[in-house]
Every structure is written in C-alpha cells, then in structure tokens.
Structure 1
Amino acid sequence: MGKKKGLGILVLSLILVLSAFMTGCSGSSSDSAGGGGSKDVTLRILVWNNNPEGTKLEGEIFKAFEKENPGIKVKQVYAPYDKFNDKFLTMSAGGDQPDLVWIQPAAFGQFVGKNVLMDLSDKKIDKDAYMPNVLELGQVKGKQYALIRDASTFQLGYNKDMFDAAGVPYPKDDWTWDDFLAAAKKLTKQKNGKTVQFGMENFYTNELLVENGGGFVSQDGNSVIVDSPESIEAIQFGSDLINKHHVQPTSAQSQGLSNMFLAGQAAMKMMGPWDWADTAKNAKFKWDVVPLPAGKAGNVSAAAYLPIGIGKGTKHPEEAFKLLTFLSSGKGQDMQIDTISAVPVVKRNSDKIETMKNAPENAKSLAASLANGKTVMNAPYIPEYAEIANKIQPVIDNINLKGGKDTEKQLKKIADQIRKEYNLK
C-alpha cells in the first residue's frame, strides 16, 4: 500500500508540473506582467509601413493607447505592400492571424469573401463622429467589416517657380482636363531634341477613370465598364499625355528617377498629404496643391483611405476593438494630424487639415473636398476585384507602351474576357 501511495503522489506531481509547463507555453499573445501572475494582452497589428521613421511615429500613437489602457500592449508586424494580402491570408489560414490588419481597398472584398475579418456591425460605433461617406468605406453589402483610420485623396501638386518662369497662371480649384493639358504643354521644355522638363510627372489611370465617370468594374460590382465610352476616353487621354502630347514621361524616360517633381524635372505631380512632409523638407522651390482637374464627372476623385479590420480569429476581440476605436475615432485621431500627417476622419478635426504639419497654402481645398463628399470609393468591394484589376492593368500598360493605338479594341477584348470568366455583365 505504501508503494502504491508513493507512486500515486509521484504521478500526481508530474501531472501538476506538466500542466504548469503547458500553461506557461500557451497564449503567445500574452506577456507576463510581473511575478503576480497577471498578464498583459499583446495585440498584433499587421501593417505595410516599412519606413523606420514612419514605424517610429506610428509607435508613438500606440504608446499613447497603451498608457490609456494599462494591461494592453501593441506590436506592429510588417509585410511588404506588394505581398501584404497574401501574407495576411497565409497567416489567417495557418492559425497565426494578427489581431488587427491594415486593408488595401482593392483586397477588402477578397478578405470579406474568405471570412477572415470580424463583422463589426453590432459593435458600439459613434456614427455621428465621422465625416460624410467615411463609415461606408468600411462596409461590404451593408455590414461593417472595418473602420477608417484616415481618408484623403490625390491632388495636383505644382511647382510655382516653373509656372512663373513659363508665364503660366497657377492652377485653379475648378480646373478641367483641357486647362491642365494646355498648361502642361507650355511647361514641357526640350533641349537638343531631348525633353529636360515635363509638364506632368504622373497621372494614375484610376484617377482619370473616376474623374471621367469610368472604371474597371461598376461600384456595385455587377458590370465590367472598362470598355464604356467614359473609360475608353479616360485611358486614351492618359496615353495621349505620354505618346501624343509628350507632356508626361514614358516608362523608359522615367526609369531610375524616383521623384521627378522634387528633382525639378516635372512641373506637376499627383500627390496626397502623405507627400507633404517630404516635399516641404526637400523641395527647393515654392509649391502648392489644387484638386485634380475635372473630367466629365466633375471635381471628384478616388478616395485614398486606410481601413483597419479585426481578424476574425483574434483571441482578444474586446481589446482589439478598443484599439480600433482609439485609432479611428479616439485620441489617435487627434495625434495623427501632427504625428504622421494622416488626415483625420472625424468631424471635430475637419478644420485642422489646413493647419496640419507641412500643409501647403491651399490645403483648404482638400478639406473642402472631403467635407463635401467629393471623393468616391476607389474599388468595388467584390472578392474578385484584385484579380480583375491585375488582368486589366497590363492591357492599359501595353496601350501606353504601343503609343495609344487600338485602345478601344484592346479594352473591349479584355472586357469581354473578364465578363465571361467572372460571369459579369
């Protein structure tokens, strides 16, 4: 009996030791907060910001959250922008899903379709705190899957010194494509048969499409519209800037040049508030911004915004929502204005856009565009959109490369292919 009793005690002791060991090894998102046994929750947020200074500044906002919420820590996890979506889906499938995730709008529908984001529709959200159209940017089919941290849009940055030297009046807030093109021609300079100054550094296809009422796919996600008259006209205009009017560089001419505008080689450039700090620091000329020139759809532009979602598999949903609220409508909104030059989305800070750090003189035009709802979604939220865009964009690149010939024919061909492959109208 004594031997059996001793053996039982030994087995029980081993079980207790093993249990304690296993407990200590579980819960990778919690850290010991001292010897008292209490633990801090560590929230991981997947981001694509790999700029050391940007990571540091983002960290200041997270530290403020940690101070306001003792017991919760925040850790940034980085993935490169071009591999970001695959990284999140791989982490989610492998049981290593981050608690929160930055979302590229083009991939939003895909994430929702794969059921990797938490539905926030039943969460307590202060809807009245946000500026017009902001909450909708985080919704898919009426359900809230993300909240927006910052929302802005592209504008036209211009070199005042170059305009002065060419005797060209500064751009106005109600400029049209015709006004823009006329100025770009006068600002393009050649020397010994070589272009030494371009009127425009870049004009993104998506922006041209939005301004003209076109797109790749309709906003409801049901129809392919890249071969609509509005889309064809916009893509042809973009190609003509390069191949017919020669006011924008070809891909070969711009190769190896990261910022022709700052280098004094282009008079105008598409830019957003995220460019203000770099431009203010490095521009050796006077500069300002205006809304992008209007096409047939008027003075509208595609919204440039950052949705943040919560991973459906998070073990800390309450803490994750606290952080999301802090970033999207709480103190984070007040801090980001000067900390990371990110445009706030809450009404209480709408008048502060003009006084943001490094804001140009006409920053009020951006504030007006956002306050008046002059921005639209830059991609429909359907699961296949990223794939569709990746099939259409090379066709447009080829149109530009081949001199803008057969634009309508090539767009109709790819449009019919997409309709058939994805069963769209």
Structure 2
Amino acid sequence: MRRLLSGIATVALLGSLTACGGGDDAGSDGPITLRMTTWSSNPAHVQLFDSIAAEYKTTHPDVTVKFDALPIDNYTTTVTTQIAGGNAPDIAWILEGSAPDFVASGALTSLDDSIENAGDLAPAATALWKQDGKLMAYPFSTSPFGVFVNTDLFKKAGVSLPSSSWSWEQAAAAASDVAEKTGKQGLVIRDFDYKDWTNLATVFRGWDAEAWSADGKTCGFDQPPMVDAMTFLHKAIFTDKAMPAPGVAADFFAGESAMTIAQISRTSLLKEGGFGWTLVPLPAGPAGEYSVIGQGGLGVLKKGKNASAAAEFVKFFTSPANSAKLAQFFPPPRQSQLNAETLAKANPLLKPEQLQNVVIDGIADGVVKPSHTGSAEINQAVRSSLDPLWKPGADVPGVLKGVCAAINPLLAK
C-alpha cells in the first residue's frame, strides 16, 4: 500500500510535466467551469467560498467556480489520483505535508503574476511554497494551533482554568482531573485519531523534538527529545487517562471532552449557547514556549483544463479584500492583516487577546508541521511503525528506533 500511494503521487505529479492536454484553456471561448478541490465541507467554509465565487461571477459571467470537498483522510491521494487519471482539478488546496512534492514536481503554475501586492506576504509563510524564488502556491491559510477549553466542564470538576502561560504537566493533570470527575474525555488532539501522526507535532515540539533534521535526511524519532515527548504522551494516555485511548472517539465541539488542540478555523463548530469555552496557546514544554503552524496552499494545476482562467480566479480569491474575509477561518499570510484589530473584525467569536496570543504571536514564532518529499510513503511508514506504541506497557525507545529503521531509506531518497 505504501508503494502504491507513493507511486500514484510520483506518476501523477511528475507525469504532469510531460502529459499532453490541459493548461492552455483550449476550447474555452464559451462558459468555463473551474473546479477547486478542498478538504473542508464545513458549511461556514463552503458558504464563504461560494460567496467569493458568486462575487467573481458578477464581473466574469462566463466563469463558474465549483468547490469539490474531499475527505481529509485520503485527500492528497485522491487529488493525485485525479491528476493521474486525466481529471486534474483546476485549483487545489494543498496541505503542508505534501507541499514539497507538489512544489518540486513541476505540477503547479507559478503565481508570481497572480497575487496582488505580493510584497505584503510574510517570508516565513511563503517559504514552503517557493521554488527557485518563484511562488508556486499561495499559503492562504497560515494557522497556528491552540487549545480550546470547555470552561463549563472545568468549573463542574472544580479545576482551575488554564491561562495563556501554562505547561504540559499542568495540561495533563487538568485533563486527567476533569475526565475523572465529569466522565468526559480530557484532551483530544483533533484529527490525530492514532492515524495522522503529524498532528502530534503540536505536542512533541514542546520538547524541541523533530521528526527529521532540517535538511530532511536524518531521522529524529530515536533522539532523546522525541523519546521524552512520546514517553509523556504514552503516560498521559494509558496511565493518567488524560487523553482518549485508541478506539475512543470524543468530539470537543459536541461537549465530549474538556480540551482539544485545533486551529481557529474550527471556531465555527462552536454552537451558540452550547457551552462556555475559551482559547489559549499550546502549553509550554521542557524546551519552553513554542507554536506549531498548519498551512494550506492554493495551487493552479498545469494539467487542469483552464489554467489561465484558474490563475485569474486565484488572483481574485487571494486579493487583500478577500484575504480579510478568509481571515475569519484562515489566518492570512499578509503582514498588513496580521494584527488583532483586523483579525477581530473577521472573528467576532474570538477576543483580541486570544487572536494575539494564539494566532499573531504563533505565526511570528511558529514552525510548520512536518513535511517532506515522498510524504505519502513516509507518513504511511511512520504511522505503521508507531502502531506498537499505542498500547499499555509499550517499549517507547524501541518503537521509536523502529520508526527510524523504517523511514531512513525513504529520507535518503
């Protein structure tokens, strides 16, 4: 399966360099329908995207934009399969984990001429999306992770609420206490579910642990910082009962857990009158305070049927005005908009100090979730190698050595 996934990605992306057809808007004298793949079917996100497309259509009546929401679990595989099958989207929302593959493959059209006021983009936000100095995808979502807290459950359990300055030891203790006293779950790392290990970076970065070295060639799973971080996680899950065990589902936004690690795009899931809540930064680890960022890039596929028309829509979608609208869920890469006043206008549910502490400060100091070329194969190898860790009494150092044994040959490619 790992070879199949990697093969699909490689054939699809590299094949786009030499494949015939697409990209020249051939036969596009009449109406055009642009298809943009996304991973979110959240009604609030869909409504915002549709409103931007509807506004675009008022000045481009022959262009219709359709947003194709694909399941997050196999999003990248689905997109690359579509490319390989000759059904490439015109525009794709690219996840940060697969950014190196897309950027390096030549599958994307340069957006240097399709971004208004490109000099306003934060260099740290665009670094992952450039090749040879050219911007290959626009990081329209540059979103740090924070911790959403169910204040009602904390009060019910008689546990002190976390502040903007707290530690992982305090977080685990509070999660364990609230879970024990309320019968709910403690802390949920959203979208991890013992599958997407990259979301664990929101924890292990607090130990200054890294999945691999900065040059991507050396495995970091067997190094002391990662061993310590994973030992902490294992204890929190199986000894302290601070986090749900494998097979236990708990949705914070349905009131089923005390806390969850997520991005502000999830704020729309909070129902008015549901329960009291707050948002605080990630807890400090032994290595100090830190921030982890998830990114989404908007790329125009060369193999799409309407590449030039797609680039024009991206120019509109990423304009300063629409960037401000998207900031409701997706913190923008535009430096002029990265202030509490601007973000507060788009995020009425969040307080200015929350936006400052979690989003603005997080972007300034954060690191992006792990990414690497050949991400599909590497991620599958890490996930399967970590499986023995998720049971009581696991040999944490031994399991992590096994992870490195599995991915070292892949990192060396």
Give the alignment's TM-score, normalised by structure 1.
0.79
Q: Deviations over 1:199-245 (max 9, x none)?
A: 32337422112222223223332221111111111111111111121
- Match of residue 410 from structure 1: 399
1:233 pairs with 2:228:
yes
Cα distance in 2 for partners of 1:268, 1:184 equals 7
RMSD of Structure 2 on Structure 1 (CA): 2.9
Please give the alpha-carbon distance, in whole angstroms, between the structure 1 residues aligned to 2:178 and 2:284: 19
Q: Is the 8 A contact 1:129 1:329 kept in 2?
A: no
Classify 1:165/1:44 alpha carbon distance in 2 versus 1 (closer, same or farther; 3 Å).
closer
Deviation of 1:152 (Å): 0.9
Q: How many residue pairs end up in the alignment?
A: 378
Please tell me whether residue 199 in structure 1 is matched to residue 186 in structure 2.
Answer: yes
Query: Separation in 2 of the partners of 1:29 and 1:91?
Result: 21
Describe the shift of the 1:398–1:104 C-alpha distance in structure 2 as closer, same or farther (beyond 3 A): same
Structure 1 residues without counterparts, runs of 5 or longer: 1-25, 31-37
What's the secondary structure of 1:394's corresponding residue? helix
Paired residues of 2:149 and 2:278 also in contact (CA < 8 A): yes
Alignment of 1:128-143 (within 5 A): 128-131=119-122, 133-140=124-131, 142-143=133-134
Residue aligned with 2:31, SS:
strand
Which of residues 354, 366, 378 in structure 2 aligns to 1:375? 366
Tell whether the 8 Å contact from 1:149 to 1:327 is kept in structure 2 after alignment: no
* Equivalent residue, structure 1, for 2:217: 222
Residue 388 in structure 1 maps to residue 375 in structure 2: no
Cα distance in 1 between the residues matched to 2:53 and 2:149: 35
CA separation of 1:214/1:327 partners in 2, compared to 1, >3 Å: closer, same or farther? farther
Q: CA deviation at 1:189?
A: 1.7
Deviation, structure 1 residue 309 = 0.7
Corresponding residue for 2:146? 155
Partner of 1:366: 358
- Matched residue type, 1:223: T
Whether the 8 Å contact between 1:180 and 1:293 is mirrored in structure 2 is yes
**CA distance in 1 between partners of 2:305 and 2:277 (Å):** 48
Give the TM-score taking structure 2 as reference length.
0.81
- Point out the structure with max Rg over C-alpha: 1
Q: Does 1:170 align with 2:167?
A: no
Native 8 Å contact 2:44 2:268 kept in 1: no
Which has the higher relative contact order, 1 or 2, with Cα contacts under 8 A spaced 6 or more apart? 2
Amino acid at match of 1:417: A
Q: Among residues 275, 282, 301, which one is paired with 2:291 in the alignment?
A: 301
For 1:29 and 1:153, locate their aligned partners in 2 and report how far apart those are by CA, in whole Å.
42
Label 1:166 to 1:390 Cα distance change in 2 as closer, same or farther (>3 A).
same
In the superposition, relative to structure 1, how do residues 162 and 90 fare at CA in structure 2: closer, same or farther (>3 Å)?
Answer: closer
The answer (yes or no) to whether the contact 2:145–2:282 under 8 Å persists in 1 is yes
Please give the alpha-carbon distance, in whole angstroms, between the structure 2 residues aligned to 1:167 and 1:124: 51
Equivalence for 1:288: 278
Query: Partner of 1:6 in structure 2?
Result: none
Q: Distance in 2 between matches of 1:66 and 1:270?
A: 37
Q: CA deviation at 1:368?
A: 3.0
Structure 1 residue 269, shift from structure 2 partner: 1.4
Cross-structure match for 1:423: 412
Q: Secondary structure at the match of 1:175?
A: coil
SS of 1:289 mapped into structure 2: strand
